[in-house]
Amino acid sequence: MDRPQLSIPTDPEEARAGFWIAVDKPLEWTSFDVVAKVRNALKKRYATRIKIGHAGTLDPLATGMLVLAVGRATKDIESVMAGAKTYTATLKLGAVTASYDAETPEQPSGQPIPELTKDIAAALTAKFMGEVLQVPPIFSAVKIDGARAYELARSGKTAEIKARPVQIHRLEISALAPDVWELTVGCGKGTYIRSLAHDMGQHLGCGAYLTALRRTEVVPFSAMSSLDEVLAAVQSS
């Protein structure tokens, strides 16, 4: 599989043969917004519609690597989605939110926040590395009886989401402040970093939620370009 690159094919048939772009998704953009923007730019370039999709959704409040498949590369999306991913996450301790991130209001727990010692870091990595059972957030795209979980949550409905096994093969923890910790997470398909943040907070007894998330790698891709750079490359003759 080719690495992402900004050498966009000049001929529409070459484009249909397939290529990949790894774009740095901007904050507050949905993954669909990025796909739609690049799709429109490709259509203008080639004067015809070119198939495009993405390999793994990023939440609007997340930034970082969104891998786009163009043309026949879309047939390999599932294989890329199944690959390992790396994230950098920022947690706020001492509070929780319904969405497990900053999308919904903070609710302080009122519980003491432990100091991040070597022993606590070791205990957390022992508990949350390897194959772990994880419940996706209710504010997620998981389907429940045909509806997206976030649609049910935003309409005030409650629904049970079953725990599922996920693989976390890397977990590094550092303290940026007494109540702000940073994680580096390497994981497999289907892992929710928001759920990891929430579960760690519950384990510590003080609560925690995600305040920032950045995806830095989607194997086999490790380099990405800004959306502006991608659009400029598509639009150039």
> Which positions are annotated as active-site residues?
59
Question: Phi and psi at residue 156, in whole multiples of 5°?
Answer: 85, 5
User: How many whole angstroms separate alpha carbon 150 and alpha carbon 99?
Assistant: 9
DSSP alpha helix (H) spans, the chain: 12-17, 31-46, 77-81, 118-128, 149-154, 193-204, 227-235
Classified as helix, coil or strand, 96 is strand
**Going by C-beta distance under 8 Å and a sequence separation of 6 or more, which residues neighbour residue 218?**
22, 55, 56, 65, 67, 80, 83, 85
C-alpha pair distances (Å), 188 with each of 7, 24, 89, 154: 29, 20, 16, 28
Q: Determine the Cα angle at 111 with ends 183 and 178, to 5°.
A: 40
Whether omega for the bond prior to residue 165 falls within 30 degrees of 0, making it cis, is no
Q: What share of the chain is helix, strand, coil (3-state, %, to 5)?
A: 30, 35, 35
